[in-house]
């Protein structure tokens, strides 16, 4: 695919040549350079009026080297050969400075060569080419339609858009030039009960996606239907009874389950976290390395993959930030932990062969770290059950839709999640909304209680723009696909009662 002309016009070949020539002269056996341009746009409309607009472009280059088993990294916003030479000298200086602290020399897993390649994510309209006025007009229209509903007191609508151009090269001759485009449109409505002072909110279920502006104007998501229903759903929620705490069978919609996957599987199976390297930021993992191949993570219907090739996935790439080609790999098979997410160092250090392509840096000024692939729960083989069929198998339970707040411990083991909407299930049918629902479990108990997963017709790709990790902190976009799923005997709390109010 063609590289964006304005990005191709940057001195990509000149800076990589200068950086590598100097790195080789200074004794580096490995070197890799990233030149990046990241354009980020934000537009927020509150109650039909534009509140915030941001249009930011970050550009720069970062160089990582390995010299005598030690890693060095340096970065700059300058893009010219002299700056690239200085980068090489700074990176080697850092490698020399950190070498005495190394317990084990750094090795990187081998990666097959592929020469020079280009890759572009699947999108139609670059969202940054759409004017802010056009974006605002769309969000204002959605807001006015919702404010016309008698139950809606306030509306917040926003759209996030990112276009990421990245050029990577290393000393083996690998050269990649890539473009990733992603969007996150959101609408949230609020209702206030003047008598009691309580309020409720309702947020759109449309997930962020690796798509362009066509996501909000095309057929990939039915925005008109969703916006048309939100006022009535909010009114029903405001009048709904509060849940009675206890053990329930729960059917969880993909719009909620993706976040539980992210927190209890996605983060728990990052190998650097499982080995303890991530202890200072959001904790380590109960799924430690000696449990590989033996940990019963969940029930036999649980099959989880890591995938950097998922169509429209937020973590989908052609090649990661260490030059590793995108792959799909098993993490949990038949309920058993069988794999981790790896970068080249983690793969080599632990004798796991080739990296599965999980290195990413959120800026040209940051070193790549091990980050999450699109971690997804597979649907049932064949047609599989529909969501209605899963609900039909529940005598007394709760159907949970949409993500909201969450909490998980530093081992990714004890957790609690809430949602956007909750429906009482009585004798296999939905019987109106509930309020104040939260579900609580340990990771292995929860996934072990999963009795059935829906078929492919229930499968949706959810995700987040802003997964945090590392020190200094970095954020990464990541998607999680899943079907609807049925869980037995889950501890459901009354979140309002838990606050003591």
Secondary structure, 3-state, 467-501: EEECCCCEEEEEEEEECCEEEEEEEEEEHHHHCCC
Percent of the chain with pLDDT over 70: 99
CATH topology of domain 5-239: PmbA/TldD fold (3.30.2290)
Q: Is the dihedral of CA 231, 236, 238, 239 positive or negative?
A: positive
Q: What is the pLDDT of residues 363-413, one digit of tens each?
A: 999 999 999 999 999 999 989 999 999 999 999 999 999 999 999 999 999
Arithmetic mean of pLDDT over the chain: 96
Integer angstrom CA distances of residue 414 from 139, 410, 446, 471: 38, 9, 10, 24
DSSP 3-state assignment of 20?
helix
Q: What is the pLDDT of residues 152-198, one digit of tens each?
A: 999 999 999 999 999 999 999 999 999 999 999 999 999 998 777 77
Q: What is the pLDDT of residues 51-60, one digit of tens each?
A: 999 999 999 9
Q: What is the mean pLDDT of residues 39-51?
A: 98
What H or E segment, with its residue span, contains residue 274? helix 271-274
Q: What is the pLDDT of residues 103-122, one digit of tens each?
A: 889 999 999 999 999 999 99
- Residue 501, pLDDT > 70, answer no
- Residue 1, pLDDT > 60, answer no
Domain boundaries defined on the chain: 5-239, 246-498
Token pair of 34 as six digits: 């990233």
Percent of the chain with pLDDT over 90: 94
pLDDT at position 199 is 86
In angstroms, the CA 144 to CA 175 distance is 49
């Amino acid at each position: 695919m063609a590289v964006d002309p304005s990005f191709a016009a940057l001195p990509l070949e000149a800076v990589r040549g200068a950086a590598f020539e100097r790195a080789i002269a200074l004794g580096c056996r490995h070197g890799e350079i990233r030149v990046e341009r990241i354009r980020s746009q934000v537009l927020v409309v509150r109650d039909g009026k534009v509140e915030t607009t941001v249009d930011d472009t970050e550009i720069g280059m970062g160089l990582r080297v390995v010299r005598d088993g030690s890693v060095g990294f340096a970065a700059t916003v300058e893009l010219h050969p002299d700056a690239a030479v200085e980068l090489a000298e700074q990176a080697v200086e850092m490698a020399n400075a950190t070498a005495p602290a190394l317990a084990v020399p750094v090795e990187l897993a081998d990666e097959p060569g592929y020469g020079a390649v280009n890759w572009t994510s699947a999108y139609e309209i670059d969202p940054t080419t759409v004017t802010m006025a056009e974006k605002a007009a769309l969000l204002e229209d959605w807001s006015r339609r919702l404010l016309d509903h008698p139950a809606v007191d306030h509306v917040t609508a926003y759209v996030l858009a990112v276009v990421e151009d990245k050029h990577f090269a290393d000393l083996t001759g690998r050269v990649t030039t890539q473009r990733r485009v992603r969007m996150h449109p959101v609408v949230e409505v609020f209702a206030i009960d003047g008598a009691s002072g309580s309020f409720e909110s309702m947020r759109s279920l449309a997930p962020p996606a690796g798509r362009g502006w066509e996501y909000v104007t095309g057929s990939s998501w039915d925005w008109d239907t969703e916006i048309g229903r939100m006022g009535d759903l909010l009114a029903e929620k405001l009048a709904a009874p509060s849940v009675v705490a206890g053990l329930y069978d729960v059917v969880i919609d993909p719009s909620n389950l993706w976040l539980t996957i992210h927190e209890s599987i996605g983060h728990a199976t990052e190998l650097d976290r499982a080995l303890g390297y991530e202890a200072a930021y959001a904790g380590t993992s109960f799924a430690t390395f000696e449990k590989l191949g033996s940990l019963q993570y969940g029930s036999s219907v649980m099959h989880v993959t890591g995938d950097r090739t998922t169509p429209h996935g937020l973590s989908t790439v052609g090649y990661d930030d260490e030059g590793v080609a995108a792959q799909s790999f098993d993490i949990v098979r038949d309920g058993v932990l069988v794999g981790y997410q790896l970068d080249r160092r983690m793969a080599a250090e632990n004798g796991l062969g080739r990296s599965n392509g999980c290195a990413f840096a959120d800026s040209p000024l940051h070193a790549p770290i091990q980050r999450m692939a699109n971690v997804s729960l597979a649907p049932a083989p064949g047609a599989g059950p529909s969501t209605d069929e899963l609900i039909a198998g529940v005598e007394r339970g709760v159907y949970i839709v949409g993500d909201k707040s969450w909490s998980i411990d530093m081992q990714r083991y004890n957790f609690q999640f809430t949602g956007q909407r909750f429906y009482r299930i009585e004798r296999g049918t939905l019987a109106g909304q509930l309020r104040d629902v939260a579900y609580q479990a340990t990771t292995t108990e929860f996934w072990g209680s999963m009795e059935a997963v829906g078929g492919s017709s229930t499968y949706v790709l959810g995700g987040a723009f802003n997964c945090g990790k590392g020190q200094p902190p970095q954020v990464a976009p990541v998607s999680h696909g899943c079907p609807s799923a049925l869980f037995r005997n889950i501890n459901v709390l009354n979140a309002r009662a838990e606050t003591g109010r």
